[in-house]
């Protein structure tokens, strides 16, 4: 099929239309179906305990004893949550949540400041032994965290930070994993931007604050999400450094709740406490998921 048109000189020119191929059904290899099936099974295995925990928190003690395992309660009640929120002496769940929010927020803010400055030093500044120091610290970071538990506790105890928020905030501020991500992201930023800023008389601090920092917001958001959830979900360390009930975060408090609500008859109150503990991180993900998804390809950097 062709069409005739006139060009600038008035001569007729034939233009051939592209031949349209008939639509063919997409073929999915058997491996893709197997992958979908495998992921579906994993999703079901993961989601059933979550659903059971949520629905159990709305079941009465009598129903838990009489029906045992059941995904949906016969009667939906709020008595478990009323009991949990009214217990302000032996299990102050609201105080624990406030403690965890303060610890995780402060820790995350300090992490973002430290890793951005440290990453700038490793990626943009030249000094003797820079790469050797970086890869040495990166290698040490692969040691199991449990190896540092006793030395870290000794240091925290020496500073008098046991049973304080600083015991949770200070350790892990300069995590090499986050520094590595920031460094690699900065390496994707053209150094011509630095040279142009230096021509205008800018120093390292001005280049970091005015040029680099606005460009690395995506990776800082991702590292911030990782740091907040990591601090919020940390379990072993707060159990070690906290003995004061009023000062511990919610993860350490949940362990204490096993002694209070650990009886099978009170499992609804234990599940309700666990649900309250995951609400802040769930809300954080719902509000920040678009930034996380847009920034997940950190190695892309900025093409110059």
Question: Exposure of 108 by Cβ count < 10 A (0-12 exposed, 13-18 middle, 19+ buried)?
Answer: buried
Pair (55, 164) in one structural domain: no
Pair (40, 119) in one structural domain: no
Pair (113, 176) in one structural domain: yes
Of 255, 234, 286, the closest CA to residue 103 belongs to 234
39: DSSP letter? H
Pair (246, 219) in one structural domain: yes
Pair (52, 111) in one structural domain: no
Gap between the Cα atoms of 222 and 229, Å rounded: 11
- Judge whether 270 and 261 are in contact, CB under 8 Å: yes
Beta bridge partners of 2: 16
Pair (54, 139) in one structural domain: no
Examine residue 115 and state whether it is found in any structural domain, yes or no: yes
Beta bridge partners of 5: 13
- Judge whether 285 and 232 are in contact, CB under 8 Å: no
Number of domains the chain is built from: 2
Examine residue 20 and state whether it is found in any structural domain, yes or no: no
Which domain covers residue 60, as residue numbers? 30-78
Pair (57, 149) in one structural domain: no
Pair (209, 291) in one structural domain: yes
Q: How many residues does the chain have?
A: 304
Pair (131, 56) in one structural domain: no
- Judge whether 110 and 173 are in contact, CB under 8 Å: yes
User: Phi, psi (5° rounding) for residue 3?
Assistant: -120, 145
Examine residue 23 and state whether it is found in any structural domain, yes or no: no
Examine residue 169 and state whether it is found in any structural domain, yes or no: yes
Q: Output the domain CATH number for residue 253.
A: 1.10.3720.10
User: Phi, psi (5° rounding) for residue 15?
Assistant: -115, 120
Pair (211, 236) in one structural domain: yes
Going residue by residue through the chain (304 aa), what tens digit of pLDDT does each one get? 555 545 455 555 455 555 555 545 556 678 888 889 999 999 999 898 888 888 888 888 888 777 777 778 888 888 888 888 887 777 788 899 999 999 999 999 999 999 999 999 898 888 888 889 999 988 888 888 788 888 999 999 999 999 999 999 998 888 888 999 899 888 888 888 888 888 888 888 888 888 888 888 888 988 898 899 999 999 889 999 998 888 999 998 888 887 766 565 678 888 888 899 988 888 888 887 776 666 555 544 444 4
Examine residue 132 and state whether it is found in any structural domain, yes or no: yes
Q: Where are the alpha helices (DSSP H) in 57-148?
A: 61-67, 79-86, 93-124, 130-140
Gap between the Cα atoms of 208 and 131, Å rounded: 20
Examine residue 270 and state whether it is found in any structural domain, yes or no: yes
């Amino acid at each position: 099929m062709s069409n005739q048109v006139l060009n600038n000189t008035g001569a007729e020119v034939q233009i051939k239309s592209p031949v349209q191929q008939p639509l063919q059904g997409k073929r999915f290899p058997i491996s893709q179906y197997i992958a979908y099936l495998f992921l579906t099974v994993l999703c079901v295995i993961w989601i059933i305990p979550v659903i059971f925990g949520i629905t159990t928190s709305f079941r009465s003690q009598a129903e838990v004893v009489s029906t045992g395992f059941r995904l949906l309660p016969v009667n939906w009640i709020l008595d478990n949550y009323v009991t949990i929120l009214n217990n302000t002496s032996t299990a102050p769940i609201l105080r624990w949540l406030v403690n965890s929010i303060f610890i995780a927020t402060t820790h995350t803010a300090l992490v973002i400041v430290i890793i951005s400055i440290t990453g700038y030093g490793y990626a943009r500044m030249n000094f003797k032994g820079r790469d050797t120091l970086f890869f040495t610290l990166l290698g040490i970071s692969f040691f199991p965290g449990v190896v540092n538990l006793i030395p870290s506790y000794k240091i925290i105890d020496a500073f008098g930070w046991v049973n304080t928020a600083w015991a949770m905030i200070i350790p892990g501020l300069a995590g090499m994993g986050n520094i590595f991500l920031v460094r690699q992201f900065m390496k994707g930023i053209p150094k011509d931007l630095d040279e142009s800023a230096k021509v205008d008389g800018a120093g390292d601090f001005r280049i970091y604050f005015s040029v680099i920092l606005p460009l690395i917001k995506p990776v800082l958001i991702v590292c911030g999400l990782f740091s907040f959830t990591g601090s919020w979900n940390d379990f072993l360390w707060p159990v070690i450094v906290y003995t004061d009930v009023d000062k511990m975060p919610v993860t350490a408090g949940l362990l204490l709740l096993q002694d209070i609500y650990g009886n099978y008859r009170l499992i609804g109150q234990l599940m309700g406490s666990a649900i309250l503990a995951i609400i802040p991180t769930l809300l954080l993900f719902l509000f920040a998921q678009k930034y996380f998804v847009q920034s997940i390809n950190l190695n892309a950097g900025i093409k110059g």
